[in-house]
Amino acid sequence: MQPLLRVEKLVKCYERQNVFGSREKLLALDGVSFAVAQETTLAVVGESGSGKSTLGFCISCLEIPTSGSIWFEGRDIVVLAESERRKLRPQIQLIFQDPSNSLNPRWSVEEILLEPLNLKGKLKREETKQRAVALMTQVGLSSDMFQRSPAQLSGGQRQRLAIARALALEPRVLILDEALSALDCSVQAQIANLLIELQRTLGMTYLFITHDLAMAAHLADEIAVMNRGRVVEQGPAQNILRHPKEEITRHLLAAIPSLDNAERPPLES
């Protein structure tokens, strides 16, 4: 089957000029390749600084990769003209890692939630409002928060607002950058179930970025492990969990807190 999203030899190089004027290069992505089929979930796990967020930015057309290609529905979206990329962006939504930065502090919760719908247009005022209320309930927020500013929400509430906002456009691909990490277990489970249900009804495809292998194992069909800008290991979730090949994967597995110590995979030093 033709994958919905295919990333080929993606390289993202950040350049910085130091005081002497010479350029320092920093390879955030160093030849990443993978493919995701429609209606599946790929978890991208890796240590901090391994390039996971950068990957999310490139795929959602918010950063232009240095080289490589990203195939989405048969088109290479890296080489598209800016006007084409703008039309494409609503279909590939990114939930930002830090919701306190991705919500405009001057706006109210309602304005924030309605922004994607208003930008899309086509909907009437009443319909938009109804949709906003529905989205809020889906992520377990009550709509009497509408007039608050994001600073008046808790971290978890902000995170859920960001999730609701990204779901508003019903994107084909949703990239969740540590989207569930800040939530408590019961809310995590509620959102996870919501995501699974949306995947079934709308056929959404998820790129689930996390450092939490347990969460990845629960949600994902496949797992890609990243280290220093490369995908070092990729395969079906259960395979990765049971037979980790790379040391970095074993490190990540060892970090899963478990009540039963016996279940821990052995850690080779």
Partner 1 sequence: MTMRRPLAKWLVILGVLHAIVVCAGFFAPYDPIEQDRKNPYLPPMPLHLLDAQGHLHLRPFAYALKLREGTFDQYEQDTSQSVPMKFFRSGAGYRLLGFLPSRIHLFGSEDARICLLGTDAYGRDQFSRLLYGGQISLLAGLLGAGCTLSIGLCVGAAAGYFGGWRDDALMRVAELFLALPWLYLLFALRAFLPLSVSPLKAFFLIVAVIGAVGWARPARLVRGVVLSAKERDFVRAARGFGATDSYLLRRHILPETSSVLLTQAAILIPQYVLAEMTLSFLGLGVPEPAPSWGNLLSNLQQYSVLVSYWWMYLPALAMVPFFLGYLGLASSLQERLEPYKIERRSPGSLA
Ligand X SMILES: Nc1ncnc2c1ncn2[C@@H]1O[C@H](COP(=O)(O)OP(=O)(O)OP(=O)(O)O)[C@@H](O)[C@H]1O
Which residues contact partner 1 (rule: CB under 8 A)?
A: 57, 60-62, 86-87, 89-90, 93-94, 96, 98, 101-106, 115-116, 119-120, 151, 165, 169
| Distance of closest approach, residue 267 Cβ to ligand X, in angstroms | 21
Q: Does 97 participate in binding Mg ion (rule CB under 5 A)? A: yes
Contact 58, 229 (CB under 8 A): no
Rounded to the nearest whole angstrom, what is the least distance from the CB of residue 113 to Mg ion in the complex? 24
Residue 188 touches ligand X, criterion: CB under 6 A: no
For ligand X, which is the closer residue by CB, 110 or 178?
178
Closest to partner 1 by CB, 60 or 199: 60
Provide the minimum distance between the beta carbon of 169 and ligand X in the complex, in angstroms, as a whole number. 23
The binder of ligand X chosen from 2, 9, 14, 105 (CB under 6 A) = 14
Partner whose binding site includes residue 26, from partner 1, Mg ion, ligand X, none (CB under 5 to 8 Å by kind) = ligand X
119 binds, among Mg ion, ligand X, partner 1, none (CB under 5 to 8 A by kind): partner 1
Q: Which of partner 1, Mg ion, ligand X, none sits in contact with 221, Cβ below 5 to 8 A by type?
A: none
CA distance 230 to 250: 17
Residues between 40 and 69 that touch Mg ion (CB under 5 A): 53
The residue within the footprint of ligand X, chosen from 51, 65, 68, 99 (CB under 6 A), is 51
Rounded Cα distance between 157 and 56, Å, is: 22
Examine residue 17 and tell whether it contacts ligand X (CB under 6 A).
no
Q: Which does 61 bind (CB under 5 to 8 A by kind): ligand X, partner 1, Mg ion, none?
A: partner 1
Tell me the DSSP string of the chain.
---SEEEEEEEEEEEEE-TTSPEEEEEEEEEEEEEE-TT-EEEEEE-TTSSHHHHHHHHTTSS--SEEEEEETTEETTSS-HHHHHHHGGGEEEE-S-HHHHS-TTS-HHHHHHHHHHHH--S-HHHHHHHHHHHHHHTT--GGGTTS-GGGS-HHHHHHHHHHHHHTT--SEEEEESTTTTS-HHHHHHHHHHHHHHHHHH--EEEEEES-HHHHHHH-SEEEEEETTEEEEEEEHHHHHHS--SHHHHHHHHTS--S-GGGSPP---
Is 54 a binder of ligand X (CB under 6 A)?
yes
Q: Name the pairing type of β-strands 41-46 and 205-210.
A: parallel
| Among the listed residues 49, 105, 203, 236, the single contact to ligand X using CB under 6 A | 49
CB of 258 to ligand X, least distance (A): 22
Tokens 């496949």 belong to residue: 222
Least spacing, CB of residue 126 vs partner 1, in Å: 21
Q: Which residues bind ligand X (CB under 6 A)?
A: 14, 26, 28, 46, 48-54, 97, 211
